[in-house]
Amino acid sequence: MDKLYGRPETNRDRGLFSLSELKPDTLWALVERSVELFRDKEAHDRPLRDRVAGVLFTRTSTRTRTAFQTGIVRLGGTPIAYGPHDLQLNTGESVGDTAQVLGSMLDLLVARTSGPLDELRELSREGGLPVINAMAAEEHPTQGVCDLATLALAHGDLRGIRVMYIGEGNNTAVALAYGIATVPGARATFVTPPGYGLPADVLSTARRTAGTTGAAVVETHDVADAPEQVDAVYTTRWQTTGTSKADPAWRETFRPFHVDATLMRRWPEASFLHDLPAHRGDEVTGEVLDGPCSLAWTQAAMKLSSAMAVLETTAGPTTG
């Protein structure tokens, strides 16, 4: 008797896992498509029609989860949502076994789990379906697409743009480093607290890409070393989702990396970005977050259109 269903015939992972793995042309096609869909959310032919997409979030999320579930519906698909306690992963089933089942029923999976990026790759490889990294400990690539699209919407041609990121070298910062490195002539300066910088391998990879585009990726641990010319200032909350800091005095280390009106006055023409949620009074003041230079709320709205761009690209063309 023929075997009706077993382990999918695949030896590779498919989907979006890291911006470092995308060719610059592919990344910028996603950015341009995000801007297009931001301006017109109906600029598509429902490419997910007849598709079923799993949305697995085992960590909290407002913008990313809402964006992907809404994006699936707007693109004609059907979302199946899973929370942190919904799958048998919670009772000890292996990732591989779970992946086989999901792969037999779903067309793609959007996932934010408490595990490492390799877990998402295993879900794809063992399930034989595309997986979108909606944030892993190492990187938040769909946030990076959103951030580049927001900058492109506000600043136009990004060639030569100067971006200063201030705060922890977290998964959002990693995606930003990889993304800005693909922009010809751009300069990304990461001003991070001592001991909380970008991982060394991330800096190495981003700088290698920057070497091919004429961009620069720089890191410093002193706010006094911030560049004289900046087009955009970016920060994130100090306590990254699902993490904690070993040093009980970490807030004192982070305090000099606070964004307020005094800091922003150093670059009066600069825009301000924040991936949200914000802890007003910690990493940024309400005056800056809600002020005329802030793109944070446009950035939040861009989450939907960038999710739609990633979904339609990852799902690929319909068949039949």
Per-residue confidence (pLDDT) for residue 12, from 0 to 100: 79
Report residue 1's pLDDT band, with 50, 70 and 90 as the boundaries: very low
Per-residue confidence (pLDDT) for residue 258, from 0 to 100: 97
Per-residue confidence (pLDDT) for residue 115, from 0 to 100: 83
pLDDT at 4 over 70: no
Residues 200-222: tens digit of each pLDDT: 999 999 999 999 999 999 999 99
Strand partners of residue 274: 235
Residues 272-304: tens digit of each pLDDT: 999 999 999 999 999 999 999 999 999 999 999
Mean pLDDT of 166-194: 98
Strands (DSSP E) contained in the chain are 15-16, 52-57, 78-82, 108-112, 131-133, 162-166, 187-191, 216-220, 232-235, 271-274
pLDDT at 2 over 50: no
Length of the chain in terms of residues written: 320
**Angle formed by the axes of helices 296-315 and 141-155, to 10°?**
120
DSSP 91: G
Per-residue confidence (pLDDT) for residue 7, from 0 to 100: 55
pLDDT at 319 over 60: no
Cβ(203)–Cβ(180) under 8 Å? no
**Predicted structure pTM score:** 0.95
Q: Rounded CA gap, 19 and 263, in Å? A: 30
Residues 90-106: tens digit of each pLDDT: 899 999 999 999 999 99
Per-residue confidence (pLDDT) for residue 50, from 0 to 100: 96
Mean pLDDT of 215-235: 97
Structural domains of the chain, with CATH: 15-138+304-313 (3.40.50.1370), 141-301 (3.40.50.1370)
Per-residue confidence (pLDDT) for residue 113, from 0 to 100: 87
Mean pLDDT value across the chain? 94
